[in-house]
Amino acid sequence: MQTQTIETPGGRFRVRLDGPSQAPVLVFSNSLGTTLEMWDAQAEHFAQTHRVLRYDTRGHGGSVVSQGPYSLEQLGGDVLALLDALGIAKASFCGISMGGLTGLWLGVHAGERLSHLVVCNSAAKIGTAEGWQTRSALVREKGAAAMAELAASSPGRWFTEPFIAAQPARVATSQGWIAGIAPEGYAACCDALAQADLREAIATIRVPTLLIAGASDPVTTVADAQAMQRAIAGARLAEVPASHLSNLEAPAAFDDALAAFLATGA
């Protein structure tokens, strides 16, 4: 099946569904500057056991690019609106970086809709408000030129040096995703990241939670994942040999950790 467009009260979303229609639903949520294609390998793997739902986050890919700033509440609400539109009462949710933060928001505010929560290469607060405000201002000021600059610098934020050297085609594909993101959508998600701080709230999460950390991730570190593990009752932590986009850099280790966790009853 190819991508489709789902209309929600908050706008249209580009989604893709794979796997048996009666299987348990597993939602994948992308990181800042990527699209649902970042999950191609995981969709192929998990469509054997799950109904896999992927979507482009607001402001990204083929989804609505509404005027920013966005908020984490809005990004989490978009997931709930998508589940409602598709008639899905409960799902497992796996998000990376910004998508992981969206998952934490869902765990805090809509835990009854989740059977498993997987938070990858993320943190309860990512970076600093000043850093995100500077980035969003630059993108709004320079538009496509700023996106080109962010695409050029993205390998260093997303992958280890050995992976960049060994996998130029994969790196180039990921750079193509960010280069194609609408500047206002990207900037508005930076605004959401600037405001998002769930460091206290995540203590209320009662959904079975797996944290996946990249051993060489300089953006959201293993220490960030350990802090979340201390805060979320019963949370597990898996470390994989990768930088920030760990599902792309270490797909086998990532899929193994995710599959083992999803196999646990919830």
User: In this structure, are strands 236-240 and 114-120 parallel, antiparallel, or unpaired?
Assistant: unpaired
User: In this structure, are strands 209-214 and 114-120 parallel, antiparallel, or unpaired?
Assistant: parallel
Judged by CB under 6 A, how many residues of this single chain contact ligand LWBT4IAB? 10
Residue 94: CB minimum distance to ligand LWBT4IAB, A: 14
Cβ proximity of 46 and 54 under 8 Å:
no
| Beta bridge partners of residue 12, listed in sequence order | 7
| Per CB under 6 A, 38 contacts ligand LWBT4IAB | no
| Per CB under 6 A, 219 contacts ligand LWBT4IAB | yes
| Per CB under 6 A, 33 contacts ligand LWBT4IAB | yes
| Per CB under 6 A, 35 contacts ligand LWBT4IAB | no
Residue 219: CB minimum distance to ligand LWBT4IAB, A: 5
Candidates 26, 27, 98, 139: give the one binding ligand LWBT4IAB (CB under 6 A): 98
Q: With respect to ligand LWBT4IAB, which residue has the nearer C-beta, 126 or 225?
A: 126
Q: Which three-class secondary structure string do you get for 206-250?
A: CCCEEEEEECCCCCCCHHHHHHHHHHCCCCEEEEECCCCCHHHHC
Helix (H, G, I), strand (E, B) or coil at 98: helix
Task: Name which of residues 136 to 155 contact ligand LWBT4IAB (CB under 6 A).
Answer: 154
Q: With respect to ligand LWBT4IAB, which residue has the nearer C-beta, 31 or 63?
A: 31
| CA 236 from centroid of its chain's CA atoms | 18
* Span interacting with ligand LWBT4IAB, options 25-33, 75-83, 167-175, 203-211, rule CB under 6 A: 25-33
Rg of the Cα atoms in the chain? 17
Q: Please give the full DSSP string across 139-171, using - where no structure is assigned.
A: HHHHTHHHHHHHHHHHHHHHS-HHHHHH-HHHH
Task: Name which of residues 100 to 139 contact ligand LWBT4IAB (CB under 6 A).
Answer: 126
| Per CB under 6 A, 32 contacts ligand LWBT4IAB | yes
Q: Which two tokens stand for residue 182?
A: 């609408």
* Span interacting with ligand LWBT4IAB, options 18-26, 30-38, 75-83, 104-112, rule CB under 6 A: 30-38
Output phi, psi for 169, to 5 deg.
-70, -40
Candidates 68, 118, 157, 187: give the one binding ligand LWBT4IAB (CB under 6 A): 157
Rounded (to 5) percent helix, strand, coil in the chain: 50, 20, 35
Residue 129: CB minimum distance to ligand LWBT4IAB, A: 13
Interface residue list for ligand LWBT4IAB (CB under 6 A): 31-33, 97-98, 126, 154, 157, 219, 244
